[in-house]
Structure 1
Amino acid sequence: DVRPSMVVVTDVNEDRLKRAEELFPVAEAKADGIDLRFVNTGNMEDPVAGLREITGGTGFDDVFCYAPVAAVVEQSSGVLGRDGCLNFFAGPTDTQFSAKMNFYDVHYNSTHVMGTTGGNTADMIESLELTAAKRINPAVMVTHVGGLDSVADTTLNLPKIPGGKKLIYTHLDMPLTALEDFRAKAAEDERFAGLADILDANMGLWCPEAEEYLLSNFVKD
């Protein structure tokens, strides 16, 4: 495998950073030869200078920007190293969205930018193979679960619903529910207590045990 020597994960929300560190422990990354760091740029007086300092001043080979925010895009441009690639993954809805980019670096340092979203069939096959081999765990992306009856409302309001992927089970009825809300939902429906117990034992992640419980208790005959 070709692995990076360093990965720096940034955010301005400390809770999100702590959750990310729980899911991707620094010690495990270190065992694979990766220097993994979680940095709150909101605490930095000069995020660009602070991030470049982490690299010894050379900048990063690859920068992934996951937020369509001009300031974040400009910071991403500012921390690129020589021949660095800025991957703008966050698709903006504003057709006039724009941000500054250092074109001195484009010309003299060969920095470049690209935009990606989703993947093709080959990418999907590869992701399934990696999942089957337990090289990746897509469960970290799932933040909500619901039934077929929740699809219409979820689709219409998707931009307003926070979190990650919404997992829908088409053969049962269940309101779209955030995994972190299962315990509270148990006050209305005791079946959610069982789901909450399973997730508590699995770092809060959706898992095969939770799916089996869901199919056994939420599917009507």
Structure 2
Amino acid sequence: MKTKAVRLYGKSDLRLEEFELPEITDDEMLAKVVSDSLCMSSYKAALQGGDHKRVPDNVAENPVIIGHEFCGEVVKAGKNVAHLAKPGDKFTVQPAMFYKGSLEAPGYSYPFYGGDATYIIIPSEAFETDCFLKYDGEAFYHGSLAEPMSCIAGGAHVNYHTKFGSYVHEMGIKEGGKMALLAGVGPMGLGTIDYALHASRKPALLVVTDIDPVRLARAEALFTIEEAKKQGVELHYVNTAEKDEAYVMELSGGTGYDDVYVMAPVKPVVEMGDNILGMDGCLNFFAGPTNTEFKAEFNFYDVHYAATHVCSNSGGNTQDMREVLKMMGEGRLEPSVMITHVGGLNCVPEVTLKLHDIPGGKKLIYTQIDMPLTAIDDFAELGKTDAMFAELAKIVERSNGLWSAEAERYLLKNAKPIG
């Protein structure tokens, strides 16, 4: 079977190509990809090429398919994995397989296994590591966004706290504690707010900072202070271009914060996070830098006498994905808040390389269609001359301006096929 896919050949070298997939083995599956959400990790891999830890050194001779936040349907299953899914079943994947200790992952390392493609081959190691997940949800994009949401769940689980006199670490954010989310209204920040408000373990205080007033206003409209109160959380939004670090510290009652998330790899943001940690405070360095020499100062006096500490995670695990899929199914998480743009497979090479410079949140790709990357906010204007966008504008208006399962169904039925 032929597939169309975006393949990485080297630094900033992405190509949309059509090529033949080999026949699957008894331990593999042939699958159709429907949606893939673009990730800054793909941008970093595209910039670094073979220098990236997950990308093969010989990528120029053996290109890999990019994209790792994808959802689709099984087309054919080899006989040894046929019991796991049948043709037509929806699926999503956990890309962090760590197969036999390897960092290889879809979207970085495989010639036939990645999200930005029409058809792919799911290899045996995805099944051996329990990283293939059947998905029963209505919308494909929920399956795609389960991966970034699993990273957020993993972030909450990787935080830890201690007790004086004990060497046992209590994993997770401090229940009923004080939490700060710095540079926290990007797409992953919005997902973290959603998770913090609706997971079983919640903080009592959540302070979200950023310097972008437009993004802060959108976050506050999506996750209101009143709604947070209903969840038992005191929520504050702070523009740190207008309010200083002392104000953020004051909101904690002067004690500092139990859990501080740093959502941007910016030296002053990291150092502010360190400064506002309370006793036994945990700083989660969530956003990975592209600069391999990135450094920031950390107060080691407080490490010694206040038990402050740092943790991080570069992804979630399969258990995290199952958790967030369950929460989505129960209506406790709505990942649509992360999505600001929608496009087709044709736009992936250009958009991935410019991802750092395109404003807004998640860029959602439908791999079976041909469509330029389009902001949801632009649907109404485009609808003045395009009937498809006119209808999409009406659909998203009914869902408070957010992408929805109804919008997905309409787009897949009416958009131009990738051809």
State the TM-score, normalizing by the size of structure 2. Answer: 0.50
In 2, Cα distance between the equivalents of 1:160 and 1:121?
31
Report the equivalent of 1:178: 375
Displacement after TM superposition at 1:187 (Å): 4.1
Counterpart amino acid of residue 51 in structure 1? V
Runs of 4+ in 1 over 3 A off after TM superposition: none
Report the equivalent of 1:40: 239
In 2, Cα distance between the equivalents of 1:103 and 1:151?
44
Report the equivalent of 2:210: 11
Counterpart amino acid of residue 328 in structure 2? T
| CA displacement 1:132-191 (0-9 Å, x = unmatched) | 111111111112111122223223333333322221112221111121222232245231
Task: Label 1:15 to 1:157 Cα distance change in 2 as closer, same or farther (>3 A).
Answer: closer
Report the equivalent of 1:132: 329
RMSD, aligned CA = 1.7
What are the ranges of 5 or more consecutive residues in structure 1 without an aligned counterpart?
A: none
Alignment of 1:54-133 (within 5 A): 54-133=251-330
- Note if contact 2:258-2:278 (Cα within 8 Å) is conserved in structure 1: yes
- Select 2:224's aligned residue among 25, 28, 48: 25
- Select 2:402's aligned residue among 190, 200, 205: 205
Displacement after TM superposition at 1:118 (Å): 2.4
In 2, Cα distance between the equivalents of 1:156 and 1:75?
30
Report the equivalent of 2:390: 193
| CA displacement 1:196-216 (0-9 Å, x = unmatched) | 222222222111121122123
| CA displacement 1:42-73 (0-9 Å, x = unmatched) | 112xx221111111100010001111111111
Counterpart amino acid of residue 81 in structure 1? G
Counterpart amino acid of residue 107 in structure 1? H
In 2, Cα distance between the equivalents of 1:144 and 1:69?
25
Q: Equivalent residue of 1:87, what SS?
A: strand
Counterpart amino acid of residue 103 in structure 1? F
Counterpart amino acid of residue 275 in structure 2? G
- Note if contact 2:371-2:416 (Cα within 8 Å) is conserved in structure 1: no
Question: Once structures 1 and 2 are overlaid, which stretch shifts more, 71-80 or 210-219?
Answer: 210-219
Displacement after TM superposition at 1:84 (Å): 0.5
Percent identity, aligned pairs only, is 53
Displacement after TM superposition at 1:35 (Å): 0.3
| CA displacement 1:87-135 (0-9 Å, x = unmatched) | 0111111111111111111111000011223212221121111111111
In 2, Cα distance between the equivalents of 1:185 and 1:66?
33
Q: Equivalent residue of 2:291, what SS?
A: coil
Report the equivalent of 2:412: 215
Q: Equivalent residue of 1:163, what SS?
A: coil
Number of residue equivalences? 219
Counterpart amino acid of residue 40 in structure 1? N
Q: Equivalent residue of 2:399, what SS?
A: coil
Structure ranking higher on relative contact order (CA contacts 8 Å, 6+ apart)? 2
State the TM-score, normalizing by the size of structure 1. Answer: 0.92
Displacement after TM superposition at 1:24 (Å): 0.5
Alignment of 1:158-173 (within 5 A): 158-173=355-370
Displacement after TM superposition at 1:219 (Å): 4.8
Q: Aligned pair 1:144/2:341, yes or no?
A: yes
Q: Which structure carries more helix by proportion?
A: 1
Q: Max radius of gyration: which structure?
A: 2
| CA displacement 1:17-38 (0-9 Å, x = unmatched) | 1100111111111012110111
